[in-house]
Structures are given as structure tokens and as C-alpha cells.
Amino acid sequence: MSLWLDFMGAEIHYIDTASYGKTRIAEAGKGNKETLIFLHGVGGHLEAYAKNVVALSDEFHIIAYDYVGQGMSDKPLLDYTPMVLVDHLRELMDALGIEKAHLSGESMGGWVSGLFTIEYPERVLKLNLNTAAGLPIITDKGREELQGLIDLTSKATTMGPPTFDSVKNRMKWLFHSNNHDSMITDELVNTRLTCYRQLGSKEVAPKVLAMIGMHDDYLIPMEKIKKETLFLWTEDNPCHDVPCAENSAAKISGSLLYVMKEDAAHWPQYESPEEFNSVIRRFLRTGTV
């Protein structure tokens, strides 16, 4: 089934931001009282939330978007850091007239969401860190996996133009092995490949992917987060394992940790959308899981 069937009922359009050019967004549920913004991982795009945008729009105003320099958004040559993406989120909320929102970020998206919550606490309702980066890694296995990702990314930026096979192999890192055949479809791979072939991507991609190597320089100071926070994790999340999530959750008063029951690795919102959507809905409604 096409992922675009999941987006039926959403509006895909572009928003002009003050400093970062045009930003592509998927939007649904306009008019609902509370806004929920989804933030994707590094080198990603809003299609990571194909199975969540419309599904949760009956209750929330939903926004998923492509970061500056990524997806189908504009690709200026900047010195990219996580704080650039924090500022981009602020400008996007300003352009959309959104004063406050719930934030749900996966991987880099969780990293940016956490930093944004500290920088602009008055603009955040509740925070969901979904297999997030930016957390101190406390196990040898996690450190080895992060170094492996850095090495893989370094090779990818020097091996020439992306191909279908290179993108598919990289996407296997995101999914539980049981989901490789059923979920890493030709359509999903070609969607990402199309993003990578956009004008300006070749020049910007190394700067964007270099943020992975900045991980320990921009760790989220968890003790400064004063919002209701849910850590949504998986048993098979690479780099940031469950002990890592437990360690960080202990630093935020009253935070919750939920570990997915279904097979999922780094993209639980896509790999097990029914469970993910149910957990997120309950957390935003009641503050429980």
C-alpha cells in the first residue's frame, strides 16, 4: 500500500521562514485546540510520519516538516548544528502562528526537541523523546554503535551520488530486522532517494550529516527540562539503548518511559503505528501511558 494513502486528508505545502527559506510541511487537523509537531531524524524527511499525521488529526492539529537542508525544504549552505535546527523550528512556529505545541521527535528530532524545550520552555506543552539522540550513551555497545554510525555516514558522504541500493542499505539501520522485507519498500526508498537528489543536496548533505559527530558536544541537559516528558523507546534501538533512556529519564522529575511491545528499532512511529499513536494520544491527553 502506498504511504500516500496514509497521507490522504493531510495538506502538503510550503511555508516561508524568515531565515531558512521554504519549509515543506504536512498538516492536518487545523482548528483543533492543541498542536503536535513531529520532528524527523538526521538526513530524513516528513514521510517518516506518514502513519501518524492523519491518524492523530481527529484530536490534534498535526504538523510534520522537513528540516532546513533536508527533505524537500530549501538547502542553504550553513554551518549546521542542532541549534540551527532549534532556531528553524522557532521560525516555523512563528510563520504558522503557533504559540505553543507538543513536540514529538525521533532521533535527531528528539535531540532538537529537547534543546528547544530548554531554549523556549514557554512554547512547549508536553515533550515526547522518541528513540532520541542527544542523550549520554552509557554502555560500550551504545558507544560502538554510535561510532559505527559516524563511520558509515562518513563513508556515505565520500562515496559519490546516492543510489537506490545505498539508500536501502542505510535504511535497514532504521528498522527492526523483522520489518526489513515488509516495510522498506521501493516507494519508501525512492522517496528518500528523491530527497537526496534535490538541487543543493550534494553540497549540503555533508554539513547536515556532520551533526552526528557533534553528538557529545550538544547533549541535552536533562535536568533543565521542566515539562511533562515521555521517553518512548524500543528494545532494539541502536546507539541509545534502554539503559541510556533509563539514565536520562531519571534526571527529569516525573518523566515516563515506555518501551514498545511490537517489533521496532529506530522508527517505532512507522514500524508499529497503532501502538505508537495510542501511546502518544494517551500521554498527551492524560500525562500517563
Cell numbers describing residue 90: 522557532
Cell numbers describing residue 18: 524568515
**Residue 91 and residue 101: Cα distance in Å, rounded?**
13
How much of the chain is in helix, strand and coil states, percent to nearest 5?
45, 20, 40
pLDDT in tens, 263-283: 999 999 999 999 999 999 999
| Contacts with 222 (C-beta within 8 Å, 6 or more apart), sequence order | 114, 135, 248, 251, 252
**For position 156, what pLDDT does the model report?**
57
How does pLDDT run along the chain (289 residues), one tens digit per residue?
789 999 999 999 999 999 999 999 999 999 999 999 999 999 999 999 999 999 999 999 999 999 999 999 999 999 999 999 999 999 999 999 999 999 999 999 999 999 999 999 999 999 999 999 999 998 888 888 888 777 766 665 556 788 899 889 889 989 999 999 999 999 999 999 999 999 999 999 999 999 998 999 999 999 999 999 999 999 999 999 999 999 999 999 999 999 999 999 999 999 999 999 999 999 999 999 9
Range of the domain at 244: 3-286
Q: Domain of 189: which CATH number?
A: 3.40.50.1820
**β-strand pairing of 61-65 with 101-107:** unpaired
**β-strand pairing of 21-28 with 61-65:** antiparallel
**Residue 232 and residue 128: Cα distance in Å, rounded?**
7
> Do 255 and 281 form a contact (C-beta atoms < 8 A)?
no
Straight-line distance from the first to the last Cα atom of the chain, in angstroms, rounded to the nearest whole number: 30
**Residue 112 and residue 39: Cα distance in Å, rounded?**
8
Which 8-state DSSP code applies to residue 235? T
For 6, list phi and psi in degrees, rounded to 5: -65, -30
Number of structural domains, the chain?
1
pTM of the model: 0.96
> Do 68 and 21 form a contact (C-beta atoms < 8 A)?
yes
